[in-house]
């Protein structure tokens, strides 16, 4: 794999690391593609019984899409695609057979939050924060947030966080059931490694079939909502408010929005 996504097998556990720490592990198109490839490779690796997904460094798990690369962009990555490549990634996460644990070592934002929450088990460092800030850059939460957040915490709470773009600390995320557990930052990787080892030691077919049975509900939710939310996001990418939000972000100033 490229050095922007690391894949390593440790005693039956594939560790996948998003490795762009200088960019808060944000996903540019190339890294997006490599992450999908790493997930697929780990799932078919006969020596892998569990997967761990984390981010490099201590600041970020994944800051979502690369905001700087969005300036001037009004599509999902080319006229040859009908749907966003983000749909491919979400589909892979919901259909992986092997159990996958997210070790959220820092902020998880937007698509980064969706990726973490689509994993089977999500552990956050107690110093981490999680949220979906699509609205803060003038976009609809189209890449899976509208599907997974209501499933985990209910529609009312999901709308509060998705419509405000507010980030929540790990303790609150655990308290309301958004994530599995908040773990002291210094213990996160060891705790996740122990859990992955526990899963890897169990009868593999039983673990995978149990996971897939539960994931059927998630697949139905994604199938029902994703195309619509992606279409709305596509429209929002063409708005003047989106470009104003990006410029305001880069210039570190409040945005001025017109609803257009």
pLDDT in tens, 212-255: 999 999 999 888 888 889 889 989 999 999 999 999 988 999 99
Q: Is the pLDDT of residue 81 over 70?
A: no
- 102 close to 53: Cβ distance less than 8 angstroms: yes
Is the residue at 23 inside a domain?
Answer: yes
pLDDT at 1: 47
Is the residue at 222 inside a domain?
Answer: no
Is the residue at 218 inside a domain?
Answer: no
Residue 24 belongs to what domain range? Answer: 5-185
What is the pLDDT confidence band of residue 143, given thresholds at 50, 70 and 90? confident
Q: Helices then strands (H, E): number in the chain?
A: 9, 10
Is the residue at 96 inside a domain?
Answer: yes
Compute φ and ψ for 82, nearest 5 degrees. Answer: -85, -45
CATH number at residue 48: 3.90.226.10
Is the residue at 122 inside a domain?
Answer: yes
User: How many domains are there within the chain?
Assistant: 1
Q: In what order do the strands lie in the sheet with 107-109?
A: 60-62, 107-109, 129-131, 168-169
Half-sphere exposure of 68 (CA within 13 A, CB side): 7
Is the residue at 173 inside a domain?
Answer: yes
pLDDT at 72: 53
């Amino acid at each position: 794999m490229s050095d922007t996504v690391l894949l390593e097998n440790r005693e039956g556990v594939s560790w996948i690391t998003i490795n762009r720490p200088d960019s808060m592990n944000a996903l540019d198109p190339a890294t997006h593609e490599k992450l999908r490839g790493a997930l697929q490779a780990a799932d078919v690796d006969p020596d892998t019984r569990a997967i761990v997904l984390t981010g490099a460094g201590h600041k970020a798990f994944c800051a979502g899409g690369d905001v700087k690369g969005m300036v001037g962009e009004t599509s999902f990555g080319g006229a040859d695609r009908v749907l966003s490549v983000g749909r491919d990634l979400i589909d892979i996460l919901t259909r992986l057979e092997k159990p996958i644990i997210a070790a959220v070592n820092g902020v998880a934002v937007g698509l980064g939050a969706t990726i973490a929450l689509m994993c089977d088990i999500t552990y956050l460092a107690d110093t981490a924060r999680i949220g979906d800030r699509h609205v803060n850059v003038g976009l609809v939460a189209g890449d899976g947030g509208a599907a997974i957040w209501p499933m985990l915490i209910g529609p009312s709470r999901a709308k509060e966080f998705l419509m405000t773009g507010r980030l929540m600390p790990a303790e609150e995320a655990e308290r309301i059931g958004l994530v599995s557990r908040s773990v002291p930052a210094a213990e996160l990787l060891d705790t996740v490694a122990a859990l992955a080892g526990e899963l890897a030691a169990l009868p593999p077919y039983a673990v995978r079939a149990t996971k897939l049975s539960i994931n059927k509900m998630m697949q139905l939710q994604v199938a029902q909502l994703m195309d619509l939310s992606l279409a709305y996001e596509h429209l929002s990418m063409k708005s003047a408010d989106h470009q104003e939000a990006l410029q305001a972000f880069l210039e570190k100033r409040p945005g001025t929005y017109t609803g257009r």
